[in-house]
Structure 1
């Protein structure tokens, strides 16, 4: 049972993802997390205000189960299956992050300086999280889907717009890390 406590190698995780994609394609479904926000807004009555939200949300119930499973799975993994939450990253990266003020670099997936409860009292952290959330939400909507939808579902369907979006996500990530991140921090 020790294997479940370790990260799974690519040759296990990759075929599992491919198998899920095959089942989704076979069932006529597409995978993506950002589409659930539209579904939840529709459930909340947003279809009365905007035509974009006027659709049969019950046809997307299965995708809401995927979100619930991701949340529950993340909770179980973090609280019951994780023995060590440290992250193995390049020592040079840890040094760079520490120089930028991230003392928790290499200790956790999410830096405590931005995501701990006490960070919500820091105006700079709060502004960064709010602006980042708005940009991610806008970007996912503007790109017609999120990174998981385009990179996993769209590319497996050989969709050119998904390839363009994935290249854009990658380039945007490089610009953020190498140009904007040092300016912000």
Structure 2
């Protein structure tokens, strides 16, 4: 079954994000998924291998709530907030995506030509996962944070490095979408 989520309107989701960010700023905390990964690796003993993971992870234990929230939110979204409608795309976008070799554009939340287990376990799919994982890991470490941390937490606290990182994320996404993906597919 194809699940399509109905997004919450901006006047509900925007104030909720603002409330969470205001609470985090008030308590002197930051938000981001990469910090959760660092905390989990530190808990698992990665500090024995790399100094990057040597820190007091107990002070960041509260941040693991983000992971629990992401899992619960995904479960609630797929089971209680989804419907059977299809994604509405611009006809020009549909034609451009079909030219890349994708079929049934808009019929699924994600294209099965990329997110199918047969594709993932192919040589090409495996190499794409390895290369993409390396680039994401390198970029996250180099930018000192992930997209969610910089775009939501960093921008809301008016951090200049976060603005630079977010501009880089968008430029990288545009380059990937317009130049690299057509070469891969």
Please give the TM-score of this superposition, normalised by the length of structure 1. 0.91
Deviations 1:7-60 (A, max 9, x none): 211122111111110011011110101111111110111111221111111111
RMSD: 1.5
Structure 2 residue aligned with 1:143: 143
Distance 1:92 1:128 in 2: 27
Contact 1:86 1:107 (C-alpha < 8 Å) held by counterparts: yes
Unaligned runs of 5+ in 1: none
Structure 2 residue aligned with 1:89: 89
Deviations 1:120-167 (A, max 9, x none): 232212211221122112111111111110011101111100000011
Contact 1:94 1:105 (C-alpha < 8 Å) held by counterparts: yes
Give the aligned length.
181
Contact 1:33 1:146 (C-alpha < 8 Å) held by counterparts: yes
Please give the TM-score of this superposition, normalised by the length of structure 2. 0.91
Unaligned runs of 5+ in 2: none
Contact 1:104 1:113 (C-alpha < 8 Å) held by counterparts: no
Distance 1:173 1:99 in 2: 19
After superposition, where does 1:124-135 map in structure 2 within 5 Å? 124-135=124-135
Distance 2:58 2:110 in 1: 34
Q: CA deviation at 1:85?
A: 5.9
Distance 2:173 2:144 in 1: 18
Structure 2 residue aligned with 1:14: 14
